[in-house]
A and B are shown apart, each in its own frame.
Chain A
């Protein structure tokens, strides 16, 4: 699985858009980009995933660059409940996949 690099921490004002970057320069053609988050003392929560195209759901948007070497998770109107650690993971769609979480980005929403 491709390795990912994320900033250790970020702050965002409540009500503004939170943009969380992720670098995955060694991503291969059959690997997807997944985003999860973990609120303190809870299990991780799936947010969104994508392969090549930008994706949007009720929680967030995912922007993947054309060369697929990086992506950005966008929370359009951040709330205090969005304070969490956000994990970017790159995994293939085949075989005995296992989610290997790195240290992620600790996002703090400021009132």
Chain B
């Protein structure tokens, strides 16, 4: 089955530790995205990548880092510099098809709790 996988579903870390969230897709999509969602709020964009070895900051990139070494993988590292890391993190991908309409496909999410 084609889709997006995120692991783990739940993650617990101590304050001051870096943590990396995994996102893998086998949809052959060019673009991948990381969003953060806090309770009762909508999604906010952290980073996105249109092609391999290239990525751009979203609206709330501070305290986060990403890499895009392979088309199918877009891991997100939550660093100790992120002041409020506890949140629900969602990865998405989309197929760039020129000027045609598109839709983003989302993974199941990782709930990160930092204490």
Contacts and interface: CB of A to CB of B under 8 A. Distances in A.
Q: Do the two shown chains form a genuine complex with each other?
A: yes
Interface in B92-115: 92, 99-109, 111
Interface in B32-54: 33, 35, 37, 40-45, 48, 50
Interface in B57-115: 58-59, 88, 90, 92, 99-109, 111
Given A41-B109, A42-B109, A46-B104, A98 B58 contact: yes
A102 B43 CA distance: 7
A49 B103 contact: yes
A41 B10 CA distance: 11
A1 B101 CA distance: 15
A52 B81 CA distance: 45
A99 B104 contact: yes
A100 interface: yes
B56 interface: yes
Which bucket holds chain B's interface residue count?
Answer: 20 to 34
Nearest to B107: A43
B101 A101 contact: no
Given A96-B48, A98-B33, A49 B101 contact: yes
Contact of B45 (A41, A43, A98): A98
Interface of B: 4, 33, 35, 37, 40-45, 48, 50, 56, 58-59, 88, 90, 92, 99-109, 111
30 contacts: A32-B101, A41-B88, A42-B108, A42-B109, A43-B4, A43-B90, A43-B108, A43-B109, A44-B90, A44-B104, A46-B104, A46-B105, A49-B101, A49-B103, A87-B42, A93-B100, A93-B101, A96-B50, A96-B56, A98-B45, A98-B58, A99-B33, A99-B45, A100-B43, A100-B59, A101-B35, A101-B43, A102-B42, A103-B40, A104-B42
